[in-house]
Amino acid sequence: GLARKSHRAALIATGVNGARQLANTAANEMTPTALAEFAKGVARESNCSCTVLDHHEMADLGMNALLGVAKGSAEAPKLILLEYRHPGAKKTVAVAGKGVCFDSGGISIKPAHNMHEVKYDMCGAAAVLCAMMTVANLGPKINVVAVVPAVENKTGARAQTPGDIVRAYNGKTIEVHNTDAEGRLILADAMSYVVDKYKPDALVDLA
């Protein structure tokens, strides 16, 4: 009855507010590592399993599109996977969330005006991770896999350069004309990996 509906509404509101909290946190605190720790916390407190791939594991898999974006930052990139499974599930849905914790634009640098707002370039990741928290609490009869490529796009000494060519996880080569088009690069590797590994019936990306 009413108590059950109220409880459901509270669980959904907790997820929504959680995503806002992640997004609003300053980039010096909300690093790729911090996002990965949040995902591990979701797994600990619910019936989800969490896997976090580090730089070396991604390099071994050939995720050079994602790693190219991360090259200019001192912060280590992470590929975060959260899985929710239901014994009665007939379908698997994958959700991918863009996790650019700070986006300077890289060598193709953004204008300084309002640059403080690019901490919000990980709102896709925030939405996806908190959606998993909500899904785990509500327990629907479906399998859900979340993937979050988490990086910073900065202008460091090793930063990707316009004109660079990278080979993505799926074997395709990509010529990078503008380093501020980083979202599609990190999502390309994350999405092709999740399709390859989990064979989902549907894939939704949030960027």
What percentage of residues in the chain have a pLDDT greater than 70? 100
Q: How far apart are CA 169 and CA 158, in angstroms?
A: 21
Q: Give CA–CA dist 121/81, Å, rounded.
A: 19
User: Distance between CA atoms of 52 and 77, rounded to whole angstroms?
Assistant: 10
**Distance (Å, rounded) from C-alpha 123 to C-alpha 45?**
22
The string of pLDDT tens digits covering residues 143-167 is 999 999 999 999 999 999 999 999 9
Please identify which residue in the block is written with the tokens 């992470």.
Answer: 78
Please, which pLDDT band fits residue 47 given cuts at 50, 70 and 90? confident
Q: Both ends of the chain: CA-CA distance in Å?
A: 37
- Please identify every residue annotated as catalytic: 110, 184
At 4, give phi and psi (nearest 5°): -65, -40
Per-residue pLDDT of 80-121, as tens digits, reads: 999 999 999 999 999 999 999 999 999 999 999 999 999 999
Cα torsion at 167, 109, 100, 178 (round to 10°)? -30
